[in-house]
DNA sequence: TTAGGATTTG
């Protein structure tokens, strides 16, 4: 990340970041605060910043926040006076970007990576642990594991083989940063698979980055501009190569290059010819997950369609499971390179040929386009991204994707279904069958069979299996699936395709039970697939499993309740209108924004836990949020203004009477109070507005108890003026009212005379603010609620002035009774120490909305039109 | 070579 703190005056600065990282939640920036700050945030949308400002930013505190925020420009106001330099105010510490890199490229499998360059910058950042090394400083024997050299490929030699058969590729790298330097090029020797990969991909003129190389000194000194060392690079040595390609640009040298990255041509499925080897794209209409064939290889059968509406069934073989396409569901999109086309039974058929390679993409419109592949090297450019997007859109209306994946809670007897689950136990049963114990966190509504196996044969955590005894189910797999089942690791996430749920009853049972079989054969795609943890369905399942409390599951069981949920059917939140039916959280998360939903969920947790931290100030004009200044801030400003003497010329006008006191203490301060009159007369104290010059915090507080309104002011030559807007411009009862520094344009205090002249001055804060040119900040509650239901979890923000808790946010900070009431409400909604299953159900409305910037779109959720029911309050 | 889609019958 490249961040700059840009100062704009001495009291605040901007943190500006041009980068937008793929997944800012996973890649937070770390910022260390070097002085006391109250953050003020320019942000088109206020809700996503609440986590940031929930913290009390004090000196030395390091906080993290999503990079996406930084790109919106944050502004921090320093309470420290004087000329702090930008660096002193805040500094940007290291950021972690490894995650986003591994998302796009599996580093272990991808020693050579192609980085796409957009606007002169690589779209994918280099791993953050890599440090750039200068060509001039290379020395033999040093450790370059975490260093990289960057240069331009100025020359490459043909790929050759060494005596032992190892591939060998040699290039000359020119140091583009130091062209004038005497020594500005170095030879790079690349060995093995990397040599082969690089030879295919490298073009002259491209930027080449190599990390984890070895420096070998040349035997003799050089007289030309060549470096005295060579770089040696190989996969075995842990090297990594990054080749930066510029899509759409061709250089003159490219035509002269010895090895040019191939430009692929893709054949539509209606143009396939017998005996050809082609590249193609298709949408998966049917597939068999890889299984062990009767020959020597794994086999996967895949049927594709494309917008020509022609089908192609492909038989794909490979001895390495990883080399077959990683298809997880119908609707996935694949790109096959070098697939052989043959005619069989009057139809075209695809079959793997030498050099077959595949990429697989999630077929969901709008999902990130991240190829699943085992290839070490692949090309994937803008136009190919476009192809995937187009196919997704076509498939959305042309392929019937099987309905929502079955959960154990939704199984019916006598059907076949696919189950996404976690493996928790396994056991050999006999030669032709094998037992898998799995769970998905939901409970099968029917009694399920237990396959009898000897305890010693059962692999898996015994304690865990015992905990799951009412949730995990036995699946018996047969014949050809046994070998694959044996190799599965406990804890892994599986999708088991076409499980047969069979109703049966044993002689000694009154009621029938359900048996789960994965029969032999591969008909209808029957089989077992291992899903990686990066799979979105796995992420969701994992989050759900982690949210469960297993001891509760057993309590539920002991209650013999088939519908566990109804046991706790005591909704505690009423909603304003009932025009929506409930939507599951999973459905909401899978839908596009903006939309409105009614949900039924449990409040697993909320932030901030210290409820007073949930109160912020919001400007409805610029949509900014800020922390409520503390009393020290106000005191500081009052002390600052006390140095300004009251100007007697401004005393006693037509609309106010002025009185000055001198304090009895040693300091002998002057306090001036201007009593605003009505109809040329003083009012009762409880109806009177005062303007106060020179008071302390304590004095102003005391005055506010007795008088209706207090406006702290100071004298200038020609008028009374409001204090700095970090201080409240108005105090009324217990509430301090603040103005937005951005949006306010303070007007002369004498404008108040118009209000004073009204029939019965109400002294409404909003009216006072208006005549004084102040944009009134409103007190709001901002909280993050983590809501869960059977289908998943979702974070929703509460942004509320008064409605939700039926407590005005402006009063909470000064009213102990209201604070207790709010705490009790939260304790009712989310009782501390209670298990998830015991939490009450809440019904509320949430709306989804998009937060966009130039690079990405993120969906957020907000609670609206919801009020805590009377009996809870 | 293997599979060549089109549910086991345990």
Return the pLDDT at A249: 41
* Distance B3 C1' – A317 CA (angstroms): 9
Q: Give the tokens for residue A647.
A: 């100007």
What region, left, alpha or beta, does residue A607 occupy, with left being phi > 0 and alpha being psi -120 to 50 degrees?
beta
Calculate mean pLDDT across residues A785-795. Answer: 92
Residue nearest to nucleotide B8 (CA to C1'): A519
| DSSP assignment letter at A61 | -
Q: Measure the CA–CA gap between A305 and A391, rounded to whole angstroms.
A: 10
Look at residue A20 and tell me whether its pLDDT is greater than 50.
no
pLDDT above 90 covers a percentage of chain A that reads 37
Return the pLDDT at A11: 25
Q: For residue A691, what is the enclosing H or E element?
A: strand A689-693
Return the pLDDT at A404: 55
* Distance B7 C1' – A440 CA (angstroms): 24
Q: Helix (H, G, I), strand (E, B), or coil: what is residue A715?
A: strand
Considering only A32-36, A96-100, A469-473, A862-866, which range has the smallest mean pLDDT? A96-100
Tell me the sheet residues that pair with A234.
Answer: A191
Picking from A54, A71, A92, the residue at the C-terminal end of a domain is A92
Q: Is residue A763 part of a domain?
A: no
Q: Within this chain, do residues A108 and A211 fall inside the same structural domain, yes or no?
A: yes
* Distance B4 C1' – A124 CA (angstroms): 42
Q: Within this chain, do residues A384 and A412 fall inside the same structural domain, yes or no?
A: no
Calculate mean pLDDT across residues A286-293. Answer: 96
Calculate mean pLDDT across residues A280-287. Answer: 96
Calculate mean pLDDT across residues A715-731. Answer: 93
Beta carbons within 10 angstroms of residue A487's beta carbon: 12
Q: Give the tokens for residue A657.
A: 């009477």
Shortest CA to C1' contact from A521: nucleotide: B7
Confidence of residue A46 (pLDDT cuts 50, 70, 90): very low
Q: Within this chain, do residues A604 and A535 fall inside the same structural domain, yes or no?
A: no
Q: Give the tokens for residue A243.
A: 């080749």
> Could you report the per-residue pLDDT of A593-630, keeping only the tens digit for each?
888 999 999 999 998 888 888 999 999 988 888 889 98
Calculate mean pLDDT across residues A441-452. Answer: 87
Return the pLDDT at A765: 95
Confidence of residue A122 (pLDDT cuts 50, 70, 90): low
Q: Within this chain, do residues A113 and A240 fall inside the same structural domain, yes or no?
A: yes
* Distance B6 C1' – A222 CA (angstroms): 71
Calculate mean pLDDT across residues A224-250. Answer: 73
Picking from A49, A67, A92, the residue at the C-terminal end of a domain is A92
Q: Within this chain, do residues A297 and A175 fall inside the same structural domain, yes or no?
A: no
Shortest CA to C1' contact from A497: nucleotide: B7
pTM of the model: 0.42
Q: Within this chain, do residues A489 and A540 fall inside the same structural domain, yes or no?
A: yes
Look at residue A202 and tell me whether its pLDDT is greater than 80.
no
**Residue of A691, A709, A690, A695 whose CA lies nearest to A637:** A695
If one compares A139 and A335, the residue with the highest pLDDT of the two is A335
Shortest CA to C1' contact from A315: nucleotide: B3
The pair phi, psi for residue A554, each rounded to 5°, is -75, -35
Q: Is residue A622 part of a domain?
A: no
* Distance B4 C1' – A712 CA (angstroms): 88
Angle at CA of residue A318, ends A314 and A322, nearest 5°: 105
Return the pLDDT at A782: 92
Residues 6+ apart with CB under 8 A from A198: A112, A169, A171, A190, A241, A243
How far is C-alpha A734 from the chain's CA centre? 40
Look at residue A369 and tell me whether its pLDDT is greater than 70.
yes
* Distance B2 C1' – A350 CA (angstroms): 14
Q: Within this chain, do residues A56 and A130 fall inside the same structural domain, yes or no?
A: no
| DSSP assignment letter at A488 | P
Q: Is residue A252 part of a domain?
A: no
Q: Helix (H, G, I), strand (E, B), or coil: what is residue A838?
A: helix
> Could you report the per-residue pLDDT of A391-426, keeping only the tens digit for each?
998 998 888 776 556 889 888 776 889 999 999 999
Shortest CA to C1' contact from A318: nucleotide: B2
Q: Is residue A646 part of a domain?
A: no
Q: For residue A455, what is the enclosing H or E element?
A: none
Shortest CA to C1' contact from A287: nucleotide: B5
DSSP β-ladder status, A689-693 and A709-715: parallel
Picking from A550, A579, A603, the residue at the C-terminal end of a domain is A550
Look up tokens 């994992």; give the residue: A542
Contact A375, A337 (CB under 8 A): no
- Print the domain residue range for A375: 269-388
Return the pLDDT at A246: 57
Question: Cis before residue A594, ω within 30 degrees of 0?
Answer: yes
* Mean pLDDT for all residues in chain A: 77
Confidence of residue A774 (pLDDT cuts 50, 70, 90): very high
* Distance B7 C1' – A268 CA (angstroms): 31
Q: Within this chain, do residues A85 and A117 fall inside the same structural domain, yes or no?
A: no
If one compares A249 and A309, the residue with the highest pLDDT of the two is A309
* Distance B1 C1' – A395 CA (angstroms): 35
Look at residue A362 and tell me whether its pLDDT is greater than 80.
yes
Strand B bases near protein CB (under 7 Å) are 1-10
Beta carbons within 10 angstroms of residue A612's beta carbon: 12
Residue nearest to nucleotide B1 (CA to C1'): A295
- Find the length of chain A: 873
Shortest CA to C1' contact from A343: nucleotide: B4
Domain count, chain A: 5
* Distance B3 C1' – A429 CA (angstroms): 29
* Distance B1 C1' – A454 CA (angstroms): 39
Q: Is residue A627 part of a domain?
A: no
Q: Measure the CA–CA gap between A127 and A129, rounded to whole angstroms.
A: 6
* Distance B3 C1' – A13 CA (angstroms): 67
Q: Helix (H, G, I), strand (E, B), or coil: what is residue A821?
A: helix
Q: Within this chain, do residues A110 and A219 fall inside the same structural domain, yes or no?
A: yes
If one compares A23 and A230, the residue with the highest pLDDT of the two is A230
Return the pLDDT at A5: 37
Confidence of residue A853 (pLDDT cuts 50, 70, 90): low
Shortest CA to C1' contact from A349: nucleotide: B4
Distance from the first to the final alpha carbon of chain A:
47
Query: Using a 7 Å CB cut-off, which residues contact strand B?
Result: A 285-286, 288, 293-297, 299, 301, 303, 311, 313, 315, 317, 342, 344, 349, 351-352, 416, 432-433, 478-479, 498, 500, 502, 517, 519-526
Q: Is residue A452 part of a domain?
A: yes
Residue nearest to nucleotide B9 (CA to C1'): A519
Contact A550, A558 (CB under 8 A): no
Look up tokens 């009712």; give the residue: A828
Shortest CA to C1' contact from A518: nucleotide: B8
Q: Within this chain, do residues A62 and A120 fall inside the same structural domain, yes or no?
A: no
Return the pLDDT at A316: 98
Residues 6+ apart with CB under 8 A from A115: A122, A123, A124, A209, A242, A243, A244, A245
Shortest CA to C1' contact from A526: nucleotide: B7
Shortest CA to C1' contact from A295: nucleotide: B2
Residue nearest to nucleotide B2 (CA to C1'): A295
Q: Is residue A729 part of a domain?
A: no
What region, left, alpha or beta, does residue A644 occupy, with left being phi > 0 and alpha being psi -120 to 50 degrees?
beta
User: How far apart, in Å, are the Cα atoms of A431 and each of A87, A173, A475, A854?
Assistant: 70, 59, 16, 59
Contact A771, A749 (CB under 8 A): no
* Distance B7 C1' – A71 CA (angstroms): 54
Calculate mean pLDDT across residues A818-845. Answer: 84
Return the pLDDT at A111: 53
Q: Within this chain, do residues A106 and A221 fall inside the same structural domain, yes or no?
A: yes
Q: Is residue A182 part of a domain?
A: yes
Contact A176, A152 (CB under 8 A): yes
Q: Measure the CA–CA gap between A565 and A694, rounded to whole angstroms.
A: 62
* Distance B3 C1' – A92 CA (angstroms): 58
What CATH code is carried by the domain that includes residue A376? 2.40.50.140
Look up tokens 């390091």; give the residue: A62
- Count H helices and E strands in chain A, helices first: 19, 47
Q: Within this chain, do residues A81 and A107 fall inside the same structural domain, yes or no?
A: no
């Amino acid at each position: 990340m490249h961040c700059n703190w840009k100062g704009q005056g001495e009291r605040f600065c901007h943190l500006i970041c041009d980068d937008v990282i793929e997944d800012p939640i996973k890649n937070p920036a770390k910022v260390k605060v070097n002085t006391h700050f109250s953050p003020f945030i320019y942000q088109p949308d206020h809700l996503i910043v609440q986590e940031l400002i929930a913290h009390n930013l004090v000196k030395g505190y390091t906080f993290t926040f999503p990079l996406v925020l930084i790109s919106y420009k944050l502004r921090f106001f320093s309470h420290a006076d004087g000329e702090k330099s930008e660096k002193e105010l805040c500094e940007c510490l290291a950021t972690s970007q490894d995650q986003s890199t591994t998302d796009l490229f599996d580093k272990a499998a991808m020693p050579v990576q192609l980085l796409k360059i957009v606007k002169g910058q690589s779209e994918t950042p280099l791993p953050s642990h890599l440090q750039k090394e200068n060509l001039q400083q290379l020395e033999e024997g040093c450790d370059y594991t975490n260093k990289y050299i960057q240069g331009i490929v100025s020359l490459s030699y043909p790929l050759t083989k060494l005596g032992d058969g190892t591939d060998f590729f040699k290039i000359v790298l020119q140091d583009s940063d130091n062209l004038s330097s005497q020594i500005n090029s170095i030879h790079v020797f690349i060995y093995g698979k990397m040599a082969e990969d690089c030879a295919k991909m490298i073009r002259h003129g491209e930027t080449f980055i190599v990390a984890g190389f070895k420096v070998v000194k040349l035997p003799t000194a050089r007289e030309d501009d060549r470096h005295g060392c060579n770089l040696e690079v190989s996969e075995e040595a842990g090297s990594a190569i990054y080749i930066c390609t510029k899509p759409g640009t061709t250089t003159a040298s490219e035509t002269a290059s010895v090895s040019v990255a191939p430009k692929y041509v893709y054949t539509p499925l209606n143009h396939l010819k017998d005996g050809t080897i082609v590249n193609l794209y298709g949408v998966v209409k049917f597939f068999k997950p890889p299984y062990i064939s009767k020959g020597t290889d794994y086999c996967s059968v895949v049927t594709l369609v494309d917008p020509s509406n022609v089908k192609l069934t492909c038989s794909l073989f490979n001895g390495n499971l990883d080399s077959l396409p990683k298809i997880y569901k119908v609707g996935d999109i694949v790109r096959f390179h070098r697939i052989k086309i043959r005619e069989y039974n009057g139809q075209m058929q695809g079959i793997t040929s030498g050099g077959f390679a595949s990429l697989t993409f999630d077929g969901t419109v709008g999902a990130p386009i991240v190829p699943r592949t085992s290839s070490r090297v692949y090309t994937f450019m803008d136009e190919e991204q476009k192809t995937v997007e187009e196919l997704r859109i076509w498939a959305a209306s042309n392929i019937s994707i099987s309905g929502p994946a079955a959960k154990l809670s939704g199984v019916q007897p006598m059907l076949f279904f696919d189950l996404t689950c976690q493996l928790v136990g396994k056991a050999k049963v006999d030669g032709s069958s094998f037992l898998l114990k799995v769970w998905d966190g939901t409970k099968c509504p029917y009694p399920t069979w237990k396959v009898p196996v000897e305890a010693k044969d059962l692999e898996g955590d015994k304690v865990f299996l015992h905990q799951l005894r009412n949730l995990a189910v036995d699946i018996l797999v047969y014949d050809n699936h046994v070998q694959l089942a044996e190799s599965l690791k406990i804890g892994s996430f599986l999708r088991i395709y076409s499980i047969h749920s069979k109703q049966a009853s044993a002689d000694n049972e009154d009621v029938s039970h359900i048996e789960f079989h994965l029969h032999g054969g591969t008909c209808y795609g029957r089989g077992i697939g291992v899903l990686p943890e990066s799979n979105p369905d796995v992420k969701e399942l994992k989050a759900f499993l982690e949210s469960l409390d297993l001891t509760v599951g057993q309590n539920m069981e002991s209650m013999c309740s088939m519908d566990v949920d109804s046991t706790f059917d005591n909704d505690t939140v009423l909603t304003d209108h009932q025009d929506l039916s409930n939507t599951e959280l999973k459905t909401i998360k899978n839908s596009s924004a903006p939309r409105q939903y009614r949900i039924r969920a449990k409040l697993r947790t909320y932030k901030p836990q210290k409820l007073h931290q949930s109160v912020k100030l919001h400007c409805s004009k610029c949509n900014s949020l800020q922390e409520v200044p503390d009393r020290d801030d106000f005191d500081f400003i009052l002390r600052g203004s006390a140095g300004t003497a009251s100007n007697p010329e401004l005393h006693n006008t037509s609309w106010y009477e002025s009185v000055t006191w001198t304090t009895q203490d040693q300091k002998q301060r002057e306090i001036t109070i201007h009593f605003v009159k009505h109809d040329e007369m003083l009012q009762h104290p409880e109806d009177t507005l005062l303007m106060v010059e020179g008071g302390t915090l304590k004095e102003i507080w005391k005055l506010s108890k007795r008088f209706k309104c207090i406006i702290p002011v100071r004298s200038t030559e020609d008028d009374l003026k409001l204090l700095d807007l970090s201080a409240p411009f108005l105090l009324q009862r217990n509430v301090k009212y603040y103005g937005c520094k951005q949006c306010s344009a303070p007007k002369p205090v004498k404008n108040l005379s118009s209000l004073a002249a009204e029939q019965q001055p109400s002294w409404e804060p909003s009216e006072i603010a208006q005549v004084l040119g102040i944009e009134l900040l409103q007190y709001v509650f901002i909280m993050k609620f983590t809501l869960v239901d059977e289908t998943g979890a979702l974070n929703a923000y509460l942004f509320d002035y008064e409605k939700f808790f039926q407590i005005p946010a402006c009063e909470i900070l000064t009213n102990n009774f209201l604070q207790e009431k709010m705490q009790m409400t939260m304790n009712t909604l989310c009782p501390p120490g209670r298990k998830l299953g015991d939490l009450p159900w809440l019904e509320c409305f949430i709306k989804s909305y998009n937060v966009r910037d130039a690079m990405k779109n993120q969906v957020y959720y907000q609670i609206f039109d919801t009020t805590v029911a009377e009996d809870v309050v």
